[in-house]
Structure 1
Amino acid sequence: MLLENKVVLVTGASAGIGRAVAIGCARHGADVAINFGRDTAGAAAAVAAIEALGRKAVAIQGDVAEPATARAFVEGAVAALGRVDVFVNNAGICPFHAFLDMPAETFERTMRVNMHGAYFMVQAAANQMVKQGDGGSIIAMSSISALVGGEYQTHYTPTKAGVLSLMQSCAIALGKHGIRCNALLPGTILTDINKDDLADTGKRTYMEKRIPLGRLGEPDDLVGPTVFLASDLARYVTGASMLVDGGMFVNLQ
């Protein structure tokens, strides 16, 4: 119960990594507020799973691309659960597209969700933590894509590099308030974002062969690293980045 009696907020938590992390934090004793965009049924299912573990949960709808959503999410979470101890910025999109004919709206939407959304969400959570006066932990889901390129991800990889950089700068800006800021860099995780891309069995097999642990990741693989960074076990860890990729990055040669 590493997060007993803590309140954890997770963005983009109606499915995938966000949902797994939200439920995983509840297993470790946390009450959880989740942000979701459109998947009402998924959000309700996540809340039900958290409550089944004996913890409190609330789902608050909002588009993270809109700055006002960040304030509404944090204020709603505090109203329902009392405070913010841990904030997990997870919401993100990756509509695969070639570079030379990238539509401006696709680039801009990806930037607004992944980068602008992270900035304003983290800012809102940090302000609440400063107001509370007893520190906290902020964790952002960056990606292995912050470190490597992708032919159909020229709009996506810069946002993930930006999220990594945001955590490094926030670690400096917020350290004096006792707020730790760290980034997780997942490798290829089986989620809705890449299900169409990995429907190509040849590509999936190729990807699996590049991973030393021999398999693609699952959303639950991010739970342990998140709980660690959220907990007091990581009380002297800030400004750090952790690859959660089955060894893929070190095998890219």
Structure 2
Amino acid sequence: MSLLNNPVVVITGSSRGIGRACALKFAKHGASGLILHYLGDEATTAEVASLQTEISELSPNVKTVAVEGDISDPATSTKIVQEGLKVFDRINVLVSNAGICPFAEFLTMPQATWERTRAVNLDGSFYVTQAVANQMKSQTPQGGSIIGISSISALVGGELQCHYTPTKAGILSLMQSCAVALGKYNIRANAILPGTIATDINKEDLADAAKREGMVKRTALGRLGEPDDIAGPVVFLASDLAKYVTGSSLLVDGGLFVNLQ
């Protein structure tokens, strides 16, 4: 039995990592359509094409639309909605996932690093949430589910993440306020806070064997997370199993946050 009732789902940053895992999980559990956003460079173009092929093999009845663009540009979010509506008559779910984390020392961090990280992570989340929420408000039946991919970094600090952690705290706050602003339109807004997940965003950082081992030991479950570990909770928040859940934050970290000793 499917967990989902044939929703049309937008996923930003879908070509790799958590976004890709979410796309596959939605296809497996009953989505009827997927609007797959990706950056549009050579690497992500190849990745999203491969993802579409994988989805068609996994769930042949699921339609996909790929939309390229820099999420920090508000025009990209408008394009995501417009291109999606050329194929589908509605949007039921948004997974705002696109993000970057170029590790950098605070005292010597170029201003451009701060601006780009903020623009992609926080501005991009705001733009796509606003664009999709307007569509959810205007369609019949009205409503939908918005899931912002925040981070455990919204709750704790990191020496090389003084530019990154504020953006993830901002996404958490954005989802909380959107839950209040959009509830009257039957739109739910929630945040997922992943712990240390082995993806491209932290591949270089985790290449340090000692650091990787230390992160593993800090988790209660004794392993780093995988993108699929996040995809399941995302699908839950999108489903009717979570129909009375809004303004919430779900920490998915293998017990990293609580493991003080």
Compute the TM-score of the two structures, normalised by the length of structure 2: 0.95
Q: CA deviation at 1:74?
A: 1.1
For the pair 1:46 / 2:51, whether they are aligned, the reply is yes
Structure 1 residue 83 displacement after superposition:
1.3
Match for residue 129 of structure 1 among 136, 144, 150:
136
Aligned length, in residue pairs: 253
Q: Which moved more, 1:238-247 or 1:46-55?
A: 46-55
SS in structure 2 at match of 1:115: helix
* Residues 151-190 of structure 1: pairs in structure 2 closer than 5 A: 151-190=159-198
1:57 to 1:209, Cα distance in 2 relative to 1, 3 A: same
User: Do structure 1's residue 240 and structure 2's residue 211 form an aligned pair?
Assistant: no
Q: Which runs of 5+ in 2 are unaligned?
A: none
In 1, Cα distance between equivalents of 2:116 and 2:98: 13
Distance in 2, Cα, partners of 1:170 & 1:153: 25
Secondary structure (helix, strand or coil) at the match of 1:78 reads helix
Q: Where do 4+ consecutive residues of structure 1 move more than 3 Å? A: none
Kindly report which structure 2 residues correspond to 1:72-221, keeping only aligned pairs within 5 A, or say none: 72-133=79-140, 134-221=142-229
- Cα-to-partner distance string for 1:218-247 (whole Å, 9 max, x where unaligned): 000011101110000100000000000001
Cα distance in structure 2, aligned partners of 1:4 and 1:237: 17
Partners of 2:245 and 2:5 lie apart in 1 by 20
- Kindly indicate whether the alpha-carbon contact (under 8 Å) linking 1:33 and 1:58 is maintained by their aligned counterparts in 2: yes
Give the secondary-structure state (helix, strand or coil) at the position aligned to 1:251: coil
Cα deviation for residue 57 of structure 1 reads: 0.7
Partner of residue 36, structure 1:
38
- 1:75, distance to aligned residue in structure 2 (A): 1.1
CA distance in 1, matches of 2:143, 2:242: 13
In angstroms, what is the RMSD of aligned CA positions? 0.8
Q: d(CA) in 1 for partners of 2:252 and 2:236?
A: 13
Mark the runs of 5 or more structure 1 residues left unpaired by the alignment.
none
CA distance in structure 1 between the partners assigned to 2:210 and 2:166 by the alignment: 27
**Sequence identity (%):** 60
Task: Give the Cα separation in 2 of the matches to 1:48 and 1:196.
Answer: 28
Task: Specify the alignment match of 2:20 in structure 1.
Answer: 19
Q: SS of the residue aligned with 1:223?
A: helix
Q: Which residue identity is paired with 1:42?
A: E
Aligned partner of 2:216: which letter?
E
Listed one character per residue, the Cα deviations across residues 64-97 of structure 1 (whole Å, up to 9, x for unaligned) are 0101100001111111222100000000000000
Q: What is the aligned counterpart of 1:250 among 226, 239, 258?
A: 258
CA deviation string 1:170-190 (max 9, x = no partner): 000000000000000000000
